[in-house]
């Protein structure tokens, strides 16, 4: 029965990690940087808890400590939920425009540290309560926690990704109550937690929406919350204020009615369509706000791809204007991933519009890469046009803006023969296999729809497409146009530059500093070299590198999954579960099948296996084999080899019997994971690209391999 407590604790751990990812993603507009920061904080807190646990070892009553920690955890969970939903109360931050990178780092640390620290300290208390100091018992506890991750991660991805956050936290509280009912000896106390369990269950079934709506009001205090829901772990919120509606998807404002940006919306909806002589088939990817303008044209078919079904559901139910638009028989709505839709579609389009926001995250950025444009090219008619828009300015134009535009322009140039850039508040990029029309032709076609627009006229078109402005913008972009800046799937320059451009509005100095850090980021290699010379703490360094390598490779799987499959926030739990399943298998193999083999030889063999598995990543990427199945396989393999290696390290420490070894190994492993999350998941992978980031972890692991190769003949 004691092992069930560890399994449930593992489920609690993965649910809480998902909770933090879910809550901070909207605050940073869906950016995958949040994954690295959240998991970095979680693992750093775990490392601190494991390190400080040595000072609690003289405590006699670990059961009472465990019970008190569980109660403390419930309190922290409730306070943290309110805290995250009230961040704008503690700062001058406007949640609707996002928060700065340093605010994200600071506030997420404040939210995560108490919970992760308490939970990991609690797991150590439970370990001392249920087991003796034999390493075999510790491996079982470790395996049970991993099994909890497998169960929780799988359950969330398949059955819970659409649940409200309040419901998920109430489930966590019920799981804690279950453990407390088992641990407590007093009948009265048991009854108390049974009642708390029942109350949580009642609230989950009947009042989750009320709790969700009430708590989130703190960040939208001036607005009335019409609807709040989740679709595949993506937050959707519809608010209303003085008759004006705002719809937010993971923090991004998808549309507002009446729209304050009506000129820009009509601008992008009309001008690209006017490039075509007689458009019949049009594809709109994202950007529901452009549909009111698009339906003004005499089109035979309008395909609208929006993978978030909730956007359609909420707008139809609550906004009359869109309800009427979707009654138009020409509009076909597809709730698919855009790349998957285009890959399967046999349709040819006269106009394809990318109506998403700027590529602040990988989910959007994959619509701005060379690989995506190559797919789009085959889906256009011979005289068809692709159009997208990026930030622009004719007054103040920072270099980051030009670099962002150059990154996407370079990707377009590798695919299309003809590209036209229309400068303004937003720069419109129009690409085609055929020649571009003259401005005169565009003005003539405008006459048919001019009466239905707010500001478009032939004079507006003359101003918008002014030759001198276009030449100036082309000249500025050409300064940065080179092969190194091309936006690709594996090297997402536009996503990084979009984030920096957006963040420069919060802190220009921080972005200048970040530029310097990026420029000299290759100095991180010195970390690996310094570790190589730290042979006096060989076993701790080995544990550190083992944790760092595992998390680094897992983050490559996360980023790869978002690029090639999508919906990482829904499947984050399953990928973690697959990794943990591998971890369990590797640990069990080490425990039951390597009893009588020399540890120095088996550990050396596992190091060789680790290097070969990293090379398999390289092969899969080089031959463009990344897909959902290879990513699952790679993640599972990383977990299995890491579990094998970690279990062997515990055995080695048990044999050499140095003082505080177990504290050191768990501390070093968690610290290595935190390092990989901060340095890899939140920095190196998006800055260097997946291929170069993979080479770094290969180099890091190879240095440790040389140690064990040297010692394999010597014994322990």
Can you give 114-128 as a three-state secondary structure string?
HHHHHHHHHHHHHHH
Task: Reply yes or no on whether the pLDDT at 58 is more than 80.
Answer: no
- Give per-residue pLDDT as tens, 295-351: 999 999 999 998 888 888 888 777 777 778 888 899 999 988 898 899 888 899 999
The DSSP secondary structure of 173-230, one letter per residue, reads HHHHHHHHHHH---HHHHHHHHHHHHHHHHHHHHSHHHHHHHHHGGGGTTSEEEEEEE
**pLDDT at residue 567 is higher than 50:** yes
Rg (CA), the chain: 27
| DSSP letter for each residue of 683-709 | IIHHHH-HHHHHHHHHHHHHHHHHHHH
pLDDT at 595: 57
Please determine, for residue 97, whether its predicted confidence score (pLDDT) is greater than 90: no
Say whether pLDDT at 711 is over 80: no
Provide the pLDDT for residue 581.
96
Q: What is the mean pLDDT of the chain?
A: 88
Alpha-carbon span 125 to 57, nearest angstrom: 9
Residue 713: pLDDT band by 50, 70, 90 thresholds? low
**pLDDT-based confidence at 165, cuts 50/70/90?**
very high
Percent of the chain with pLDDT over 70: 93
Q: How many CA within 13 A on the CB side of residue 215?
A: 21
Given a cut of 50, whether residue 132 has pLDDT beyond it is: no
**pLDDT for the residue 535:** 67
For residues 382 and 405, give the distance between their C-alpha atoms in angstroms, rounded to a whole number: 26
Task: Report phi then psi at 259, rounded to 5.
Answer: -85, 130
Per residue in 267-294, pLDDT (tens digit) is 999 999 999 999 999 999 998 899 999 9
CB-based contacts of 563, cutoff 8 Å, min separation 6:
362, 366, 489, 490, 492, 626
Q: What integer pLDDT is reported at residue 600 of this predicted model?
A: 59
Say how many CA atoms lie within 13 Å of 322 toward its Cβ.
21
* pLDDT band at 421; cut points 50, 70, 90: very high
pLDDT over 50 (residue 417): yes
Which of 597-611, 644-658, 665-679 holds the top average pLDDT?
665-679
pLDDT in tens, 660-708: 456 678 888 999 999 999 999 999 999 999 999 999 999 988 888 887 7
**HSE-CB of 463 using CA atoms within 13 angstroms:** 10
Q: What is the mean pLDDT of the segment spanning 203-225? A: 85
| Whether pLDDT at 141 is above 90 | no
C-alpha span between 529 and 706 (Å, rounded): 12
- 359 vs 538, which has greater pLDDT? 359
Mean pLDDT of 126-147: 66
Nearest by Cα to 493 from 460, 518, 475? 518
The confidence score (pLDDT) of residue 427 equals: 94
**Mean pLDDT to the nearest integer, 471-479:** 89
**What confidence tier does 597 reach under pLDDT thresholds 50, 70, 90?**
low
pLDDT of residue 410: 95
- Sign for the pseudo-dihedral over CA of 49, 53, 59, 60: positive
Helix (H) or strand (E) holding 353: strand 349-354
Q: What confidence tens digit (pLDDT) does each residue in 175-205 have? A: 999 999 988 888 999 999 999 999 999 999 9
Q: Answer with the residue of higher pLDDT: 549 or 704.
A: 549
pLDDT of the residue at 144: 87
Amino acid 128: pLDDT:
78
Task: Report how far residue 458's alpha carbon sits from residue 306's, in angstroms, rounded to the nearest whole number.
Answer: 33
Q: Is the pLDDT of residue 398 over 90?
A: no
Looking at per-residue pLDDT, the higher value among 8 and 224 belongs to 8
* pLDDT on residue 134: 38
Residue range 239-267, pLDDT digits in tens? 888 888 888 888 888 888 888 788 888 89
Is it the case that residue 532 has pLDDT exceeding 90? no
Q: Which pLDDT value is given to residue 361?
A: 92
Check pLDDT > 70 for residue 714: no
Determine the distance from the C-alpha atom of residue 214 to the mean position of all C-alpha atoms in its chain, rounded to a whole number: 26
Whether the pLDDT of residue 364 is over 90: the answer is yes
pLDDT at 716 over 50: no
| Beta-ladder partners of 228 | 237
> Structural domains in the chain?
1-130+163-222 (no CATH), 269-303+326-489 (3.40.50.150), 520-716 (1.20.1250)
The pLDDT assigned to 659 comes to 46
- Average pLDDT value for residue range 471-482: 88
Whether residue 563 is predicted with pLDDT greater than 80 in this model: the reply is yes
Confidence at 135, pLDDT banded by 50, 70, 90: very low
């Amino acid at each position: 029965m004691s092992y069930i407590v560890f399994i449930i604790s593992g489920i609690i751990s993965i649910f809480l990690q998902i909770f933090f990812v879910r809550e901070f993603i909207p605050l940073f507009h869906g950016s995958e940087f949040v994954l690295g920061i959240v998991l970095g904080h979680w693992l750093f807190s775990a490392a601190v808890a494991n390190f400080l646990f040595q000072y609690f070892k003289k405590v006699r009553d670990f059961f009472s400590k465990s019970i008190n920690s569980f109660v403390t955890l419930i309190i922290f969970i409730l306070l943290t939920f309110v805290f995250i939903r009230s961040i704008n109360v503690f700062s001058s931050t406007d949640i609707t425009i996002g928060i700065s990178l340093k605010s994200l780092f600071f506030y997420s640390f404040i939210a995560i540290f108490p919970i992760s620290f308490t939970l990991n300290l609690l797991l150590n208390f439970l370990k001392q309560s249920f087991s003796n100091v034999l390493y075999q018992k510790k491996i079982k506890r470790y395996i049970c926690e991993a099994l909890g991750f497998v169960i929780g991660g799988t359950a969330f991805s398949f059955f819970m990704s659409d649940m409200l956050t309040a419901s998920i936290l109430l489930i966590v509280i019920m799981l804690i109550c279950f453990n407390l009912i088992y641990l407590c000896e007093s009948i009265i106390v048991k009854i108390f937690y049974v009642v708390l369990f029942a109350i949580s269950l009642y609230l989950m079934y009947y009042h989750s929406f009320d709790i969700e709506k009430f708590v989130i009001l703190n960040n939208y205090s001036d607005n009335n919350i019409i609807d709040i829901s989740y679709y595949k772990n993506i937050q959707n919120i519809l608010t209303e204020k003085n008759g004006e509606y705002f719809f937010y998807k993971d923090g991004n404002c998808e549309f507002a009615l009446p729209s304050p940006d009506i000129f820009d919306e009509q601008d992008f909806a009309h001008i690209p369509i006017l490039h075509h002589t007689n458009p019949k088939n049009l594809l709109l990817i994202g950007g529901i706000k452009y549909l009111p303008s698009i339906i003004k044209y005499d089109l035979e078919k309008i395909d609208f791809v929006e993978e978030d079904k909730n956007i359609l559901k909420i707008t139809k139910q609550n906004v009359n204007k869109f309800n009427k638009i979707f009654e138009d028989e020409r509009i076909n709505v597809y709730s698919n991933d855009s790349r998957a839709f285009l890959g399967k579609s046999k349709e040819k389009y006269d106009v394809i519009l990318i109506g998403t926001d700027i590529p602040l995250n990988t989910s959007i950025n994959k619509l701005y890469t060379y690989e995506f444009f190559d797919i789009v090219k085959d889906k256009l008619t011979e005289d068809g046009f692709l159009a997208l828009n990026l930030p622009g300015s004719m007054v103040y134009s920072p270099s980051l803006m030009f670099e962002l535009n150059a990154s996407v322009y370079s990707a377009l140039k590798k695919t299309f023969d003809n590209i036209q850039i229309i400068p303004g508040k937003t720069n419109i990029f129009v690409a085609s296999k055929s020649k571009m029309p003259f401005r005169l032709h565009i003005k003539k076609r405008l006459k048919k729809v001019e009466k239905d627009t707010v500001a478009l006229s032939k004079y507006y078109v003359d101003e918008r497409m002014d030759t001198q402005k276009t030449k100036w913008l082309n000249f500025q972009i050409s300064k940065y146009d080179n092969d190194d800046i091309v936006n690709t799937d594996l090297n997402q320059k536009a996503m990084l530059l979009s984030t920096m451009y957006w963040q420069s509005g919060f802190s220009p100095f921080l972005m200048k500093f970040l530029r310097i850090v990026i420029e000299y980021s290759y100095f991180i290699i010195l970390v690996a070299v310094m570790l190589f010379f730290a042979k006096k703490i060989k076993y701790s360094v080995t544990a550190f590198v083992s944790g760092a390598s595992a998390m680094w490779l897992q983050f490559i799987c996360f980023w790869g999954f978002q690029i090639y499959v999508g919906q990482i926030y829904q499947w984050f739990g399953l990928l973690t579960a697959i990794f943990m399943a591998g971890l369990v298998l590797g640990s069990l193999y080490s425990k039951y099948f390597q009893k009588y083999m020399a540890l120095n030889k088996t550990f050396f063999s596992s190091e060789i296996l680790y290097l070969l598995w990293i090379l398999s990543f390289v092969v899969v990427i080089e031959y463009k084999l990344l897909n959902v199945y290879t990513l699952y396989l790679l993640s599972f393999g990383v977990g299995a080899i890491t579990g094998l290696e970690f279990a062997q390290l515990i055995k080695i420490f048990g044999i050499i019997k140095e003082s505080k070894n177990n504290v050191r190994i768990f501390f070093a492993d968690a610290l290595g994971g935190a390092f990989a999350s901060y340095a890899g998941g939140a920095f190196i992978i998006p800055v260097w690209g997946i291929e170069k980031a993979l080479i770094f972890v290969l180099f890091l692991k190879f240095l440790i391999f040389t140690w064990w190769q040297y010692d394999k003949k010597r014994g322990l």
